[in-house]
C-alpha cells in the first residue's frame, strides 16, 4: 500500500536529493521532513501543519500535493478505525501466549515485592533523591505556519517571515513558492488577481482585482493598500 511517507522518500531518493538540501531550500526543519518520511506524525506540531508540510514538500518534489494529502487522510482514518474496533476483534486470543505473559507477570510481581521489601529495610540514599532536578525540561516543538503562493500571472511579491527573514521575488505564471514562519507572514503583492495563496494548507480565496497592490498579514488580518507600504 502506498503511503505519503514512502512516496516522498522514494521520489526524493530517485531525484538524488538529500534531506538536508531540501530542508534549507524549503526553510523547514530537517527533523520535520524526516518525520514526514518516517510517518512519525506524533513528532509534528499538529494535523493542520502536517497537511501544510506535506503540500510544500510534495510541490518541491513535483508530486501532486492533493494526492499526497489524500493518502495521509486515508492513512489516519484507517488507523482510527482500527483503534475504535472492540478488543476481541483486533486479534484472536492466544492461550499459549497468555500463559507465557502470566508467568512473566508473576516473576515481575515477585521482583517488585522483593524490591519494596528491601527498600523498607535499607535507608534511602540521600544523593539520589534529587537526581532529576538538574535535567533540562524537554521543549515542545515550535508550531510553524506554512505559506504557499501560486502565480497565475506575472506579479511581484515580498514576504517577511520575521525580524530576520524577508524575501522579494518576481513570479512568472506557473511559479510556486513556499515559506514557513513561527508566528506570522507580512506579505505585499503587486498583482492581487494574479496569484493564489495557500495558508496552512487552505486556499484563502480571492485577494482582489488584477493589478491591485495589496498588503496582507497572516493570520492576524487582511488589508489592502493601493499605494503600497
Q: Choose among 206, 203, 155, 159: nearest CA to 178.
A: 159
Q: Distance between CA 149 and CA 177 in Å, rounded?
A: 5
Domains of the chain: 1-141 (1.10.260.40), 145-224 (2.60.40)
Could you give the residue ranges of the DSSP H alpha helices within 85-176? 87-90, 95-121
**Span 36-50, average pLDDT:** 90
Pairing label, strands 155-162, 185-189 = antiparallel
pTM summary value: 0.41
Helical axes 65-84 vs 47-61, angle rounded to 10°: 140
Best mean pLDDT range from 160-164, 180-184, 221-225:
180-184
The answer on pLDDT for 96 being more than 60 is: no
Q: What is the 3-state secondary structure (H, E, C) of 7-47?
A: HHHHHHHHCCCCHHHHHHHHCCCHHHHHHHHHCCHHHCCCH
Q: What are phi and psi of 133, to 5 degrees?
A: -60, -40
CA distances from 189 to 82, 185, 214 (A): 46, 12, 5
pLDDT for 44-76, tens place per residue? Answer: 988 989 999 999 999 999 999 999 999 999 999
Q: Would you say 168 and 199 are in contact if contact means Cβ atoms under 8 Å apart? A: no
pLDDT for 101-115, tens place per residue? Answer: 656 666 676 676 566
Q: In the prediction, which pLDDT does 100 show?
A: 57
Q: In the prediction, which pLDDT does 211 show?
A: 87
Choice between 75 and 86, residue whose per-residue pLDDT is larger: 75
The answer on pLDDT for 121 being more than 60 is: no
Q: Distance between CA 173 and CA 84 in Å, rounded?
A: 47
Q: Distance between CA 23 and CA 98 in Å, rounded?
A: 47
Q: Would you say 153 and 211 are in contact if contact means Cβ atoms under 8 Å apart? A: no
**Span 161-166, average pLDDT:** 81
Q: In the prediction, which pLDDT does 143 show?
A: 72
Amino acid at each position: 500500500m502506498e503511503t505519503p511517507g514512502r512516496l516522498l522518500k522514494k521520489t526524493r531518493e530517485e531525484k538524488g536529493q538529500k534531506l538536508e538540501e531540501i530542508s534549507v531550500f524549503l526553510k523547514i526543519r530537517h527533523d520535520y521532513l524526516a518525520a514526514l518520511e518516517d510517518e512519525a506524525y506524533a513528532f509534528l506540531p499538529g494535523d493542520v501543519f502536517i497537511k501544510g508540510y506535506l503540500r510544500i514538500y510534495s510541490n518541491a518534489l513535483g508530486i501532486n500535493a492533493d494526492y499526497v494529502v489524500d493518502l495521509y487522510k486515508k492513512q489516519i482514518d484507517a488507523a482510527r478505525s482500527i483503534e475504535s474496533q472492540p478488543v476481541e476483534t483486533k486479534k484472536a486470543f492466544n492461550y499459549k501466549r497468555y500463559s507465557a505473559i502470566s508467568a512473566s507477570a508473576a516473576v515481575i510481581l515477585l521482583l517488585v515485592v522483593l524490591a519494596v521489601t528491601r527498600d523498607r529495610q535499607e535507608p534511602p540514599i540521600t544523593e539520589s533523591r534529587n537526581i532529576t532536578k538538574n535535567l533540562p525540561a524537554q521543549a515542545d516543538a515550535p508550531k510553524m505556519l506554512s505559506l504557499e503562493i501560486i502565480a497565475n500571472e506575472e506579479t511581484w511579491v515580498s514576504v517577511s517571515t520575521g525580524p530576520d527573514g524577508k524575501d522579494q521575488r518576481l513570479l512568472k505564471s506557473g511559479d510556486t513558492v513556499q515559506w514557513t514562519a513561527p508566528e506570522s507572514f507580512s506579505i505585499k503583492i503587486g498583482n492581487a488577481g494574479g496569484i493564489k495563496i495557500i495558508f496552512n494548507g487552505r486556499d484563502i480565496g480571492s485577494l482582489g482585482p488584477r493589478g491591485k497592490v495589496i498588503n496582507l498579514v497572516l493570520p492576524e488580518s487582511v488589508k489592502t493598500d493601493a499605494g503600497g507600504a
